[in-house]
Amino acid sequence: MNIQENISLKAYNTFGIAKNARFFVSVKSVNELKEALEWAKHQKINPLILGGGSNILLTQNQETLVIKIEIQGINLVLEEEEFYFVEVGAGVNWHQFVLTSIANGWGGIENLSLIPGTVGASPMQNIGAYGVEIKDVFYSLKALNRESLKIREFNAEECRFGYRESVFKHELKDKYVICSVIFRLCKVPKFHIEYGAIKETLEASGVKELTLKAISDAVIQIRQSKLPDPKKIGNSGSFFKNPTIPEEHFKNLRSEHASIPGFPNTEGVKVPAAWLIEQCGWKGKRFGEIGVHADQPLVLVNYGDGDGNEIKELAVKIQQSVFEKFGIDIHPEVNFL
Ligand code: EPU
């Protein structure tokens, strides 16, 4: 085990924030992970587990051991009449897994193309895009208990998935490290093209026959047209979650703001946070090294040398202005560290 000291985390978070880790180690297997956890226990420090670093905002140096999960492997473990069951190591890059699935004809995650991050982090917040969420293809996961160092298997119900939510963000926060995930993928794909601009993009590209690859290409094209590439401009995708408000509140708002978009769900009406933020005048605003993306105001960006605290302060100002104008609390999707 190669524990390094005072390592910059700039390359390990998609926001590109330059904070340091007191100790840093990459682990490629469950045994290496156990070793690292034992080392941390011995030092009496609570380690930080890092996947692709695509959903975090670093606001301070991490005076602990940062464990980067690099457990690899994409293995077809079972084939049934309708499904393939594929076990994937937590450290596998999410988009690489999507591309492998498409190449093998495994259907179900093509709409989730180009999402930054790793497979191990994907169930944490039930990643989703273009009408599909991980819970739709999830079968089970294996996670290491950080105290007992024993592996436990979780089925979908035990993960308690919700919109950008799971049990690992609540009751079991910091209790387990996800080591691998088993996905249940379709032999005969069920295409989801009703959401957003997918249909129009397919038509504009002259696609005659729907395939996993055609859908993936369309999603990639849409994402590239509005979301900044983290390799060029630091960001962590949507900074806030889309809020759901009571129907009564929505009706009142609509009488004042006729163009407010709303999507009814079982708890009320979901309102796009992007719209609320744009209405408050933040879209495309730049403040030195940080700002609000011009094509998708739900995304906060670091142009280069931005500081995590500056982004945090900007986020608070955005939240306050949305609350003052619309009486709606918007909550970050990103974890502050
Ligand atoms: N909108 C505006 N102004 C804009 C952009 C969008 O008003 O500049 C409004 C429009 O009404 C538009 C609506 O926002 O119809 C929705 O926009 P979009 O389809 O881009 O999706 P989103 O709700 O902003 C969510 C996810 C994204 C995911 C897309 C597509 C959340 C927090 N974000 O964004 O996920 O890619 O849908 O499915 O749910 C992420 O989580 O990091 C992420 C990028």
HEC profile of the chain: CCCEEEEECHHHCCCCCCCEEEEEEEECCHHHHHHHHHHHHHHCCCCEEECCCCCEECCCCEEEEEEEECCCCEEEEEECCCEEEEEEECCCEHHHHHHHHHHHCCECCHHHCCCCCECCCCCCCCCEECCEEHHHCEEEEEEEECCCCCEEEEEHHHHCCECCECHHHCCCCCCEEEEEEEEEEECCCCCCCCCCCHHHHHHHCCCCCCCHHHHHHHHHHHHHHHCCCCCCCEECCCCECCCEECHHHHHHHHHHCCCCCCEEECCEEECCHHHHHHHCCCCCCEECCEEECCCCCCCEEECCCCCHHHHHHHHHHHHHHHHHHHCCCCCECCEEC
Pocket of ligand 1 contains residue 246 by CB under 6 Å: no
Q: Quick one: 112 and 221 in the same domain?
A: yes
Q: Quick one: 78 and 139 in the same domain?
A: yes
Active-site residue identified among 32, 70, 133, 333: 333
pLDDT score for 183: 98
> What CATH number is attached to the domain comprising 137?
3.30.465.10
Taking only the tens place, the pLDDT of each residue in 211-270 is: 999 999 999 999 999 999 999 999 999 999 999 999 999 999 999 999 999 999 999 999
Task: Determine the distance separating the centroid of ligand 1 and the alpha carbon of 241, expressed in angstroms.
Answer: 9
Pocket of ligand 1 contains residue 261 by CB under 6 Å: yes
Residue 159 sits at φ, ψ, to 5 deg, of -80, -15
Q: Whose CA is nearest to atom 19 of ligand 1?
A: 196
Q: Which residue shows structure tokens 């076990």?
A: 87
Which of these three, 19, 42, 69, is where a domain ends? 69
Of the candidates 196, 315, 193, the one whose C-alpha atom is nearest the C-alpha of residue 263 is 196
- Give the tokens for residue 239: 């900074």
- How many folded domains does the chain comprise? 3
pLDDT score for 190: 93
Residues of the chain below pLDDT 50 = none
CA distance between the termini of the chain: 25
Q: Quick one: 258 and 325 in the same domain?
A: yes
pLDDT score for 1: 86
Please answer whether residues 101 and 164 qualify as being in contact, where contact means their C-beta atoms are separated by less than 8 angstroms. no
Pocket of ligand 1 contains residue 333 by CB under 6 Å: yes
Distance CA(98)–CA(134), nearest Å, equals 12
Which of these three, 69, 85, 111, is where a domain ends? 69
Domain span holding position 261: 234-336
Please answer whether residues 103 and 86 qualify as being in contact, where contact means their C-beta atoms are separated by less than 8 angstroms. no
pLDDT score for 128: 96
pLDDT score for 332: 96
Q: Is 296 exposed, middle or buried (0-12, 13-18, 19+ CB in 10 A)?
A: buried
Q: Quick one: 88 and 210 in the same domain?
A: yes
Q: Quick one: 210 and 262 in the same domain?
A: no
- The verdict on whether 286 is a catalytic residue reads no
Q: Quick one: 214 and 250 in the same domain?
A: no
Q: Quick one: 104 and 159 in the same domain?
A: yes
Task: Determine the distance separating the centroid of ligand 1 and the alpha carbon of 45, expressed in angstroms.
Answer: 38
pLDDT score for 276: 98
- The verdict on whether 333 is a catalytic residue reads yes
Which of these three, 167, 195, 226, is where a domain ends? 226
Distance CA(187)–CA(137), nearest Å, equals 12
Residue 190 sits at φ, ψ, to 5 deg, of -110, 110
> What CATH number is attached to the domain comprising 35?
3.30.43.10
Please answer whether residues 277 and 283 qualify as being in contact, where contact means their C-beta atoms are separated by less than 8 angstroms. yes
Q: Quick one: 62 and 190 in the same domain?
A: no
**CB-based contacts of 210: which residues, under 8 Å, 6+ apart?**
191, 193, 202
Would you tell me how many other CB atoms lie within 10 Å of the CB of residue 4? 11
pLDDT score for 279: 98
Q: Quick one: 307 and 214 in the same domain?
A: no
Q: Quick one: 217 and 89 in the same domain?
A: yes
Pocket of ligand 1 contains residue 307 by CB under 6 Å: no
Tell which one of 114, 133, 169, 238 to mutate to probe ligand 1, the residue whose CB is within 8 A of the most ligand atoms. 238
Tell which one of 224, 275, 278 to mutate to probe ligand 1, the residue whose CB is within 8 A of the most ligand atoms. 275
Please answer whether residues 277 and 318 qualify as being in contact, where contact means their C-beta atoms are separated by less than 8 angstroms. yes
- The verdict on whether 164 is a catalytic residue reads yes
Please answer whether residues 169 and 178 qualify as being in contact, where contact means their C-beta atoms are separated by less than 8 angstroms. no
Of the candidates 275, 286, 279, 337, the one whose C-alpha atom is nearest the C-alpha of residue 312 is 337
> What CATH number is attached to the domain comprising 273?
3.90.78.10
Please answer whether residues 181 and 119 qualify as being in contact, where contact means their C-beta atoms are separated by less than 8 angstroms. yes
Q: Quick one: 208 and 306 in the same domain?
A: no
Q: Quick one: 200 and 317 in the same domain?
A: no
